[in-house]
Amino acid sequence: MDDRWADLAGKLAAVARLAESAGVTRVVIREPATLAWLFGARVHVPQTLDAACFDVLVEPGVGGAPPGLTVVTNAIEAPRLRDTELAGLPASWVVVPWWEPRDTRLPTGAGTGSDRPRGADVDLSAGLTAARRVLTPGEQRRLAQVARDAAAAATRAAHRITPEHSEYAAAGAVADELLSAGLDPVVLMVAGGDRGGRHRHPLPTTAPLGERAMLVCCARRHGLVASVTRFVSFAPLSAADRDAYLALLEVERVFLDRSRPGARLGDVVAAGTAAYAGAGLEPTEWHRHHQGGLTGWQPREFPAHAGSDVRLAAGMAVAWNPSTDRWKVEDTALVRAGGPELLVDDPAWPVLTVGDRPRPDVLVRT
């Protein structure tokens, strides 16, 4: 049996408990991140985060019987899903013609709960989202491998690009390396020169990179997402740039130090954003971009802020990304009792030590 299905019974039991507490007899799951959590599979056709190519109906068992599982998809996707992503899945299948909406085969109304409710459905989105936030040991291992492979892909791309390459060409190098490693690039951004500070979400352009390049990606495999940011400089760093980068790593250190089980997410953000001033940076710099938050099945579940009341737990994944007008740092980490386990690591990338942790340095290629 595929090792992804080893966790399936426990996940279906969690769905069944949620259904019982909500007083419903069936659950329709349509949210891509939740489907990815359930099966550890690619659930998309277009490379999107908000649309899946199938839905799932879970009917909790009666008298201790295992929950029933039905996949609802169309005639285009069913053969591929059966042969690849969901091969060996113990489920029933409902296959509709490609011109017929799947909605017509999904129950709705009284007795139905869903993460994308329709009509009188009971909204189970919050409960299902909470259920997927603590990764199983197998998922933690798979996320760590995704992060390592994404980091290595970014390193290889960073050594391929030159100042004359366009941002699009650099993005192509990153995408090539990710896809060659079996990773789907779900977010891909590149900034040449100082554009990464002026444009915090720099989609690539035809402009040449110039003396500096920021490479950003969110890479996905088995539904799990790792976030990576790397800087390449084609000229020696000035003392001012070096100091500014080190200051930002000090801000990141505070986010990481506070990311422990039991911590309120909003308190982590409040401490991290307050650290900008303590590091000698503009105190309101964090207003220009979100600082990260919970990750795992999405690049971010939501942008964490001081009002976020979620409590961190061991096995949750976080990705913090403080930034300034010149620099950004980013990693993917697992919450542990002794402090976060940083996952985005490639031994070939230069590092420096901040708060007793190895952190990515700027790759200088002169």
Per-residue pLDDT, averaged over 70-88, amounts to: 96
Per-residue pLDDT, averaged over 149-162, amounts to: 98
Provide the CB-side half-sphere exposure for 191 (13 A, CA): 19
Is residue 4 very low, low, confident or very high in pLDDT (cuts 50, 70, 90)? low
User: Pick the residue with more confidence: 67 or 359?
Assistant: 359
Asked whether 300 and 292 are in contact (CB, 8 A), the reply is yes
Look up residue 71 and give its two tokens. Answer: 């996949």
1 pLDDT above the threshold of 50: no
318 pLDDT above the threshold of 90: yes
Per-residue pLDDT, averaged over 157-165, amounts to: 98
Q: Which helix (H) or strand (E) holds 219?
A: strand 212-221
320 pLDDT above the threshold of 80: yes
Q: What is the pLDDT of residues 209-250, one digit of tens each?
A: 999 999 999 999 999 999 999 999 999 999 999 999 999 999
Task: Look up residue 361 and give its amino acid.
Answer: D
Per-residue pLDDT, averaged over 94-112, amounts to: 95
Sign of CA dihedral 173, 176, 180, 182: positive
Asked whether 134 and 85 are in contact (CB, 8 A), the reply is no
Residue 271: C-alpha distances to residues 122, 255, 341 (Å): 37, 7, 19
Is residue 64 very low, low, confident or very high in pLDDT (cuts 50, 70, 90)? low
| Stated pTM of the model | 0.95
Is residue 135 very low, low, confident or very high in pLDDT (cuts 50, 70, 90)? very high
Query: Going from the N-terminus, what domains does the chain have, and what CATH number goes with each?
Result: 3-133 (3.40.350.10), 137-364 (3.90.230.10)
